[in-house]
Amino acid sequence: MANKNIDMSKLRQIIKLSVSHHQGSRSIRDATGVSRTTIRKYITQFRALKITWDEVSKLSDKDLNELFHLDPVLPDPPDREKELYSFFPQVEKRMKQPGMTLHKLWKEYSEKNIDTFQSTGFYKHYRIWKGRSHPSMHMVHKAGDKMFVDFTGKKLEVIDKITGEIRPVEVFVAILGASQLTYVQAVESQDVADFIICCENALRYFGGAPAAIVPDNLKSAVIKSSRFEPTLNQNFEAFAEHYGMVVLPARVYKPKDKSLVEGAVKISYNRIFTNLQDQKFYSLQELNEGIMRHLENHNTTFFNGRTYSRMDQFKDIEQHVLQPLPPVRFEMRENVQVTVMKNGHVCLHKDKHYYSVPFINVGRKVKMFYSKTIVEIYYKYELIASHQRIKSPHTYTTEAAHMATYNNHLLDWNPQRFIEQADLIHEEVGRYIALVISKKTHPEQAYKSCQGILSFAKRFGNDRLINACKRAHSYGLYHYKIIENILQKNLDKYDMDNEILSMPAHDNIRGEGYYK
């Protein structure tokens, strides 16, 4: 414990034993447990102060501590050091530029100044200046490298115009590492959809994307944290990929990984929350407009002790190195595993709509990824089909190229097979099935309907199915749902005035002979 500051009671004991009892450092060490080096230091300091033991005994602990532990007074630095230190704020700012080094900045400084320092002296004084300006020695962030994101602990409020109910809302904060340009937005929740929207709006506000996004271990971003390979939310990972970023979750128990955004959260409390606390907002849009006004003021206010703001620093060092944003915004996707049917289609059961895939994939289990506008189908991570999403139920989206491979595969499902099965029940059913198939652009689109119609023979009997096909034909409707409706409502049992229905001749109807 040599040369360490000690408790004031022990300091009094050391002085008393030395002055009143005339004991040496060895005896005082045995009595107090303080090292001889420390004892000698305090005895020498006591004698230099030229005060008595009685005066020391009357001092409070605070006064005694200040008397024996005064900070040393540093002499004023010489002029060339003052000039060098005035250059360091510019050094700190430019060190954030990609590829910039202290050696390059020293060379630049030495070329402009005659009475300059060698490189080692330059480095030493810069470390001293950094230690005084930033005692924690915060991490140096390169321009265009990282965006840090998090939600604030405190919430803001929105009032329902109709009920007057006060609803708390979440507040999202994003900050660029190098320039510290900040984005703040109120949002309904911390779920993955709202979180991604906030991250995307932050990128749009910055006008570009950094190389990496650093979230805290939010469930919307990180499903399972790990020191080595955290499990990311699939949609958040896809969002980052859409904007050309990698996801680097902040490490658990590593506060410096997220210190920048935590600092931004604290500043947002002072510069945004406090300025909004006496105002009432009746929608998220109103609240975000209020946030944006104070956010702009925050981003254009000079840093303490600097002659530039976050916005100035962003425009100088970071704006031009951000990645350009893609023209299309990210769309969240859901996924489901399905089996390719024998008609070469897969069904998105949420919409009850069918999409074609190449026939070579019949019988395979594939994965469908779908957003608001797009449906993509993958087999073993390879994209095999892509379609615009259509939400009309019981209809087909079919690409002709997918059906072109049909003849290359011996399949159980084909038009002739369904017509022959229908003819075994009755010729009227065979004609009706032929018309169901002929109404589709691609025969494969009708296979599921044909299968369903023929299955009614087992459930309701051949006679009822025959009558249902006749009645559906009289309506001019040729699909599964009309047959189901007729049978369920017993419409096939009503007399149709004994009228014998015949199939109309029409150029657009291929007829049963077409498939033989």
Structure tokens at 18: 């030395």
Sequence-separated (6 or more) residues with CB below 8 Å from residue 320: none
Residue 408: the pLDDT is 43
**Cα dihedral sign, 382-387-388-393:** negative
Higher-pLDDT residue of 132, 389: 389
Token pair in block for residue 89:
């704020």
187-207 pLDDT tens trace: 999 998 899 999 999 999 999
Is a pLDDT exceeding 50 seen at residue 135? Answer: no
Alpha carbons 163 and 157: distance in angstroms, whole number = 14
Q: Do the Cβ atoms of 313 and 192 come closer than 8 Å? A: no
pLDDT single digits (tens) 278-326: 899 999 999 999 999 999 999 999 887 778 899 999 999 899 999 999 9
The burial of 108, by beta-carbon neighbours within 10 Å (0-12 exposed, 13-18 middle, 19 or more buried), is given as middle
pTM, two decimals, is: 0.53
The span from the CA of 495 to the CA of 501, in Å, is 13
Q: Quote the DSSP letter at residue 139.
A: P
| Residue 104: predicted pLDDT | 81
> Would you place residue 222 in the very low, low, confident or very high pLDDT band (cuts 50, 70, 90)?
confident
pLDDT digit string, tens, across residues 3-42: 556 778 888 888 888 887 778 888 888 888 888 888 888 8
- Please give the residue that has the higher pLDDT: either 59 or 132: 59
137-189 pLDDT, tens digit per residue, is 445 678 888 999 999 989 999 998 888 899 999 999 999 988 899 999 999 99
The conformational region for residue 24 under phi > 0 = left, psi -120 to 50 = alpha, else beta, is beta
Range with the largest mean pLDDT of 106-120, 135-149, 171-185, 439-453: 171-185
Decide which of 64 and 428 is more confident.
Answer: 428
Among all chains, which residue has been given the structure tokens 């995307």? 200
The pLDDT of residue 127 is 75
Query: Higher-confidence residue: 56 or 99?
Result: 56
Q: Is the pLDDT of residue 71 over 60?
A: no
Q: Please tell me the distance from the alpha carbon of residue 392 to that of residue 399, in angstroms, as a whole number.
A: 17
CB 15 within 8 A of CB 42: yes
pLDDT digits (tens, 9 = 90+) for 59-68: 777 777 777 7
Report which of 171, 169, 166 is spatially closest to residue 183, judged by C-alpha positions. Answer: 171
Among candidates 343, 348, 447, 340, which has minimal Cα distance to 388?
348
Q: Does residue 185 sit in helix, strand or coil?
A: strand
Q: What type of residue sits at position 487?
A: L
* Contact between residue 327 and residue 378 where contact means Cβ atoms under 8 Å apart: no
In the chain, % of residues over pLDDT 70: 84
Pair 46, 40: CB distance under 8 Å: no
**pLDDT of 364 higher than 50:** yes
Across 118-131, average pLDDT: 76
Cα 291 to chain centroid, rounded? 21
Share of the chain above pLDDT 90, in %: 25
425-436: average pLDDT? 88
Q: Which residue has the tokens 């900070």?
A: 71
State pLDDT tens for residues 389-403.
998 888 888 887 887
Q: How confident is the model at residue 409 (pLDDT cuts 50, 70, 90)?
A: very low
Question: Would you list the DSSP string of 238-299?
Answer: HHHHHTT-EE-PPPTT-GGGSHHHHHHHHHHIIIIIHHHTT---SSHHHHHHHHHHHHHHHH
What average pLDDT does the segment 400-415 reach? Answer: 61
* CA separation for the pair 97, 106 (Å, rounded): 15
Alpha-carbon 45 to chain mean position: 60
Q: Is the distance from CB of 475 to CB of 435 less than 8 angstroms?
A: no
Encode pLDDT of 78-95 as tens digits. Answer: 667 777 777 777 777 777
* Averaged pLDDT of the chain: 81
pLDDT at 229: 67
Return contacts of 505-509, CB within 8 angstroms, 24+ apart: 508/438, 509/435, 509/438
